[in-house]
Structure 1
Amino acid sequence: MTTAGRRHRIATDTTATALSDVLVELGIGVGDEVIVPSFGPGAPADSVRLAGAIPVFADIDPRTFCLDPQAVAAGITTRTAAILPVDVFGHPAPMADLDALAERNALAVVRPGAEGGIPEDAGSIARRRAHARFLNSALTGVIVPYTEPGAHHLYHRYSVRIPGNGRPDRDVFAKALAARGVRATVSVPVPVHRMPAHRSGVVLPNTELVAADSLSLPVHSGLTQRELTHVADACNELGGLV
């Protein structure tokens, strides 16, 4: 087994404590850097600080919302000890590229486990995927989620991007949907590198852009076809920009 293979670890769940435990087991701590995403939950960056190391934020691919391997490569220094990628809204991180990058640089790769350590029900996943396929074909005026060829998207969230001028247009679009009985949620209200505990001067243009214009539509497995059609019709009535 290669060095990278031996040092590719999956935590017991998604919490900062579980991820930190794995980092500590790998001997990662004070003086080390760990590359993490800013778009998504704060647990990866929190776990790095819990281990005594420094989180280094890398930018995302604006199509998948996952870490961009090129941005990760640009963030590697002599102090880098690990990469901590996450699957975003159910789209898998680009692990083949990240594993190859880790092997070339003798880095560990640490990944979150299942939420609560419990695998998801296959029926719920299949239902969400069916809902996503319908919305992909029915929606107009918004940018629907992208799935990398060969990837299996779980659609924990169905996050679209609203064309226009970022946050103002996205927020108006969300309010207009709410007036039509569709409860959409802001995908990532604040990127992690902008939060007080992790604020830094790092420039992450794609992270900022996607955080400003993305919106998650209902896609949970309990939706009826009538409700799903109403979601699509309400979005299409708005025509993208409001």
Structure 2
Amino acid sequence: MLQAAGVGAGDEVIVPAFGNPEVADAVVRAGAAPVFADIDADTYCIDPAHVADRLSARTAAVVAVHRFGHRADVEGLLYLGSRHGLLVLEQGESEKPYDETGQRRLHAAYLSGRLSGVRTPAGYDGHTYQQYVVRVPGNGRPDRDAFARVLRGKGVECSVPVKTPVHRLPAFRRDVALPETERAADETLALPVDGTMTRRQLQRVVSACNALGGLLQPAF
């Protein structure tokens, strides 16, 4: 899409650093340079306000990536695009069947109503819960990783959704301040919310998380 739009050598494309490197790779393959912007703390999608701060005379496009079932603020990006003559592209997620999405929403509502040991996702309208991503309280990555190990030891499958932001990978390393991206990479954990889960399995997730949450206190 970038190449078809004429984006290439000498151009910059603003992309999120929170996620996989495929988008930045695509920018490089088009001959342009990726510029990393920070994310919104609730949706984990690229923040139009920070995109505005990253604009330069070379900026040709911005890529919005929908994350975990949250939709990026495409309207805000389109407004920027219309003001500055930028191409706005979207990268979606694999769509779940309608029935599975509905079941995931029910399971997410159950978890969000009962979890007290973690910060639950913002439940915006339209959230499809491709992943149920929480924030683990405490002191960032060490506590999050310890939390995950204990959950797995109790039979609760969980995963770190983004282990290293793209701007920290050797191929794309940039000296840029992206505090929300860094914080999300250190604190987030994806809990199971598959549509086939039983109520007993959901209760096990709640019990395991709530038993641990009070043990992790933020540093002052």
Q: Scaled by the length of structure 2, what TM-score is found?
A: 0.95
C-alpha separation between the residues in 2 aligned to 1:42 and 1:241? 34
The aligned residue for residue 52 of structure 2 is 73
The aligned residue for residue 135 of structure 1 is 111
Of 81, 93, 100, the match for 1:124: 100
Q: How much does 1:240 deviate?
A: 4.4
1:1-242 to 2 correspondences below 5 Å: 22-113=1-92, 115=94, 119-148=95-124, 151-242=125-216
Indicate if the aligned counterparts of 2:137 and 2:213 stay in contact, CA closer than 8 A.
no
C-alpha separation between the residues in 2 aligned to 1:68 and 1:110? 14
Indicate if the aligned counterparts of 2:65 and 2:92 stay in contact, CA closer than 8 A.
no
Residues 185-212 of structure 1 show CA distances to partners (whole Å, capped at 9, x for unaligned) of: 0121110111111111111111001100
Q: How much does 1:220 deviate?
A: 1.2
Residues 26-67 of structure 1 show CA distances to partners (whole Å, capped at 9, x for unaligned) of: 000100000000111211111100101000000011111111
Indicate if the aligned counterparts of 2:21 and 2:166 stay in contact, CA closer than 8 A.
yes
Whichever residue aligns with residue 144 of structure 1, its letter is T
Identity of aligned residues (%): 48
Whichever residue aligns with residue 53 of structure 2, its letter is A
C-alpha separation between the residues in 1 aligned to 2:90 and 2:38? 17
Number of matched residues? 216
Q: Scaled by the length of structure 1, what TM-score is found?
A: 0.86
C-alpha separation between the residues in 2 aligned to 1:29 and 1:100? 23
Gaps of 5+ in 2: none
C-alpha separation between the residues in 2 aligned to 1:113 and 1:90? 9
Residues 122-171 of structure 1 show CA distances to partners (whole Å, capped at 9, x for unaligned) of: 011111111111111010021100134xx411111111001111001101
* Residue aligned with 1:57, SS: strand
C-alpha separation between the residues in 2 aligned to 1:76 and 1:240? 42
Residues 202-230 of structure 1 show CA distances to partners (whole Å, capped at 9, x for unaligned) of: 11111001100111100111111111111
Runs of 4+ in 1 over 3 A off after TM superposition: none
Gaps of 5+ in 1: 1-21
Describe the shift of the 1:205–1:174 C-alpha distance in structure 2 as closer, same or farther (beyond 3 A): same
Whichever residue aligns with residue 126 of structure 1, its letter is G
Residues 54-111 of structure 1 show CA distances to partners (whole Å, capped at 9, x for unaligned) of: 0000001111111111101000111000010101111000111111111111100111
C-alpha separation between the residues in 1 aligned to 2:142 and 2:132? 20
Indicate if the aligned counterparts of 1:173 and 1:241 stay in contact, CA closer than 8 A.
no
* Residue aligned with 2:65, SS: coil
